[in-house]
């Protein structure tokens, strides 16, 4: 049913819940689990440098993210998920767009994401990665709210 499941993690408690749910599903369904973090370079100012294209992940950023991803991989394998991979996805535009693009490239049948539950003005001003993903993903999306 869900041969490949992709989960987005960023170190937040919401992402931790999404990870736990994706592990349960991957184990129960014998699915491949892809654990990802999307890196978007900071927004540039009028006089700022233009980020490289295609986007890249600076070494100091990958040095911080890689151990977190490896830890998630080990946790998933420890509880019985057979095929687990992780990666950092560089995205030039937004985290949501990078996530959706990678899900399509990987042939994901399900994506799992956490939601902080922003509403009202905060959501309008800050945008919502979960909202973007639900509107643009080619596959099923599970939003975990705990």
Domain formed by 4-144, architecture: 3-Layer(aba) Sandwich (3.40)
Q: What is the pLDDT of residues 35-75, one digit of tens each?
A: 999 998 776 655 556 666 677 898 999 999 999 999 999 99
Q: How far is Cα 105 from Cα 123, in angstroms, rounded to an integer? A: 28
Weakest mean pLDDT among 15-29, 67-81, 104-118: 104-118
Q: What is the pLDDT of residues 84-95, one digit of tens each?
A: 999 999 987 788
Span 95-123, average pLDDT: 83
CB neighbours (10 Å) of residue 73?
16
Q: How far is Cα 90 from Cα 39, in angstroms, rounded to an integer? A: 5
């Amino acid at each position: 049913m869900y041969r490949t499941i992709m989960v987005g993690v960023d170190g937040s408690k919401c992402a931790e819940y999404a990870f736990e749910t994706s592990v349960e599903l991957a184990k129960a369904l014998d699915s491949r689990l892809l654990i990802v973090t999307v890196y978007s370079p900071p927004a540039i100012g009028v006089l700022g440098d233009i980020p490289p294209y295609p986007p890249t992940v600076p070494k100091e950023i990958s040095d911080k993210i890689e151990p977190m991803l490896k830890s998630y991989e080990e946790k998933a394998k420890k509880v019985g998920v057979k095929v687990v991979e992780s990666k950092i996805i560089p995205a030039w535009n937004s985290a949501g767009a990078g996530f959706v693009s990678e899900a399509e490239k990987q042939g994901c049948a399900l994506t799992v994401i956490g939601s902080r539950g922003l509403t009202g003005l905060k959501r309008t001003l800050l945008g919502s990665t979960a909202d973007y993903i639900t509107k643009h993903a080619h596959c099923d999306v599970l939003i975990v709210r705990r």
